[in-house]
Chains A and B, each alone.
Chain A
């Protein structure tokens, strides 16, 4: 009885595993493309998992959907657009580079340039301060000493 219960528990309640053997396409090239696309799509019900790694049922459906579209002859972009049209921008793990999002993509480089500029300015200031050249007052005093 216990065994039966256990068997029931294990089969009924466990969600399916990420990428099942029966999902894998025979066509190696298409399968590789499917895996690439899956890694960039977010599982809609999980915490920060892509559908390729996720165990959830909806991720399995999305993986199958991606493969169906690929078999239909869609390009990678078309497949992604197809899914975004149905599930929203939320599923894109790599945010788009349009409009407001441009700030996000430009921020790292912008910040680096700013920081480098500030750093360079600081270092330069230290550099001039460290110059061994004499100040005008010192030069005058030196001349005085040399003359006497």
Chain B
């Protein structure tokens, strides 16, 4: 019953979305207030209806209602509660419903917090947002209905893919979708502004918080996914340049570019058409990512050809929205006259360079991801584009980005001087190179990657600190510290996010350069030494989990002869899905992780054991978290709190009217 109500709510929402797509748009065109006003209650009721629909599906999963086809295929009564809930979005239909839920959530938020927007702009934004919703309602209802019943319900379900039964991955999709779908707001604002024909500093100020929020969620989502890969897949890899990863990475890169170009539009009323174009492209890449992941076209062209219905539908959505927006853009871009002027050496130019590097790096990921498809369709060759290509073609862009970041971030607006910007940075550069030299001296071997990572990381992090220090002006140390504390949140956000980037780059380079590995056969009771750690295999036990059987090793780890910790790597077997998984035993340390994996019993009675020492592994995610935190701090800045600026301008408008 509840299931049918959920289904009904979804269809009702579809109807309301169509109304919200049409009525406010006409109202804005004709200047009819009551027609425009339809958008607000419509956006809120859409959220309530889709929210109810989602809750109904969740209820079916939680109560293990196996009369639902989706529950049968993706759940099992023995599954822990957390994974019953996360099972809702651990499949195609449910994840699309989650996508729609978030889409309506953002629409409702725009309605609730957009009080200070001009009426026509707000009506158009909500109408465009609803147009996207309509497409996804239709997609779900016509091709991916999660509410289908089974004629004969089975006694139990087929369980969720065991790899997905993990806390890291349970929350990975919601964050990723919040990011993907959050970019729809930037898209809606861009299209609404194009229809309106007006882009000014105020517009950029309204778009930035939404983009920032989306980017924060994307950062967290990608970080969670990479962290999951690190501890779950069994060899401590954290990024594979897999098409599915790339699908989320491209919107992240473009959102990062958009954040920076919107600053220029907001502060200097320049780069308007580029900011609009980026808003369209960033969401376009979100849709492209959805298409790549959901259609299965990347795993195999044949998988796509066998069940083309869904893929073609998303492809159509992609073409209609991106194509339509770009057509509109080509008509209107000319009328977006830029006001702010700036010289070749200026903060604006530095941000243009930042945008070029980010956009071209996104293009590299795009070409590499789609190349196998292009090659197969044009020449018939089946080939692969893997990590070696991306490492070679993508990395230089981020190295360049790190090199220009510290001086670029302190260059003056409008007209700057490189010598002046570099003046405080020379000390930072010397420090960074000295640290790199130290790293080169103490490392074993002659690899350049580790020291370069140290130099770049230190350059970016200490450069961000120097920026903050300079902002405090000339004063005593105590005065400076007080002033730094009182700097606007936007400055603190910039410092935190840039430091996070530096830390992540440092960690990736040093982990890849200085990782140690040991593979051996070990009998119970035997020990071995790796670097300064001695590991002893104490026991291998059979353990029974809620829905899996496990072969669990117990290792005692000693550091320089003293007891450090006990590790329990596992090899699990999930009976229902008939799938094995590895659970590594990891000792998370500040300077390195000790990462142990236990394998199969060997013929001579021992166990296959792989051990890694992974330096600075946690710093990768600490850096990502700092980037997200920096975004959040910046988001809390007064300037971006939508109401703050709006109330003032409204008051001003009232005064003008009164006069």
Contacts and interface: CB of A to CB of B under 8 A. Distances in A.
11 contacts: A13-B578, A17-B582, A17-B600, A48-B240, A48-B386, A53-B235, A91-B384, A105-B393, A108-B394, A115-B360, A130-B343
A21 B542 CA distance: 22
Interface stretch (B141-149, B181-189, B351-359, B641-649): B351-359
B228 to A, nearest CB: 15
B385 A104 contact: yes
A48 B388 CA distance: 12
Given A40-B388, A104-B368, A127-B344, A21 B600 contact: no
B520 interface: yes
Contacts of A126: 270, 338, 340-343, 348
Nearest to B352: A119
Contacts of A89: 381-384
B341 A100 contact: no
A15 interface: yes
Contacts of A40: 386, 388
Interface string A28-65: 00000000000010100001111001010000000000
A95 interface: yes
Interface string B603-621: 0000011100000000000
Contacts of B240: 48-49
Contacts of B542: 3, 6-7
A88 B386 CA distance: 15
A104 B243 CA distance: 16
A92 interface: yes
Contacts of A130: 341-343, 414-415
Interface in A108-137: 108, 111-112, 115-116, 119, 122-124, 126-127, 129-130
A48 to B, nearest CB: 5
Contacts of B392: 94
Interface in B342-396: 342-344, 348-349, 352-353, 355-356, 359-360, 363-364, 367-368, 371, 375, 378-379, 381-389, 392-394
A31 to B, nearest CB: 10
Contacts of A22: 521, 602
A83 interface: no
A8 B293 CA distance: 36
B389 A94 contact: yes
B162 to A, nearest CB: 13
Return the 3 tightest CB-CB contacts between A and B, nearest first.
A93-B386, A130-B341, A94-B388
Contacts of A127: 341-344
Nearest to A47: B299
B551 interface: yes
Contacts of A100: 375, 378-379, 381
A25 to B, nearest CB: 11
B234 interface: yes
B384 A93 contact: yes
A115 B359 contact: yes
B571 interface: yes
B243 A9 contact: no
A85 interface: no
B237 interface: yes
A70 interface: no
Contacts of B360: 108, 111-112, 115
B610 A17 contact: yes
B344 A123 contact: yes
A9 B600 contact: no
Nearest to A129: B341
Given A21-B608, A112-B360, A47 B599 contact: no
Contacts of A14: 571, 573, 580, 600
A123 B519 contact: no
B359 A123 contact: no
B338 A104 contact: no
B386 A50 contact: yes
A20 to B, nearest CB: 6
Contacts of B364: 107-108, 111
B352 A122 contact: yes
Contacts of B375: 100-101
B117 interface: no
B153 interface: no
Contacts of A90: 382-384
B549 interface: yes
B365 to A, nearest CB: 10
Nearest to A130: B341
B4 interface: no
Contact of B342 (A95, A96, A123): A123
Contacts of A16: 599-600
B317 interface: no
A94 B270 CA distance: 41
A132 B146 CA distance: 64
A15 B582 CA distance: 11
B234 A18 contact: yes
A11 interface: yes
B341 to A, nearest CB: 4
Contact of A111 (B363, B415, B600): B363
- Most B Cβ at <10 Å: residue of A13, A96, A130: A130
Contacts of A18: 234-235, 610
A22 B602 CA distance: 9
A11 B608 CA distance: 13
B242 interface: yes
B601 interface: yes
B410 interface: no
Interface in A73-95: 88-95
Contacts of A48: 240-243, 384, 386
A95 to B, nearest CB: 5
B597 interface: yes
A108 B549 contact: no
B580 A13 contact: yes
Contact of B580 (A15, A21, A50, A123): A15
Nearest to A124: B344
Contacts of B573: 9-10, 13-14
Nearest to B274: A122
Contacts of A129: 341
Nearest to A92: B384
Nearest to B300: A47
A47 B242 contact: yes
Contacts of B610: 17-19
Contacts of A104: 367-368, 371, 385, 389
A126 B233 CA distance: 51
A42 B386 contact: yes
B386 A24 contact: no
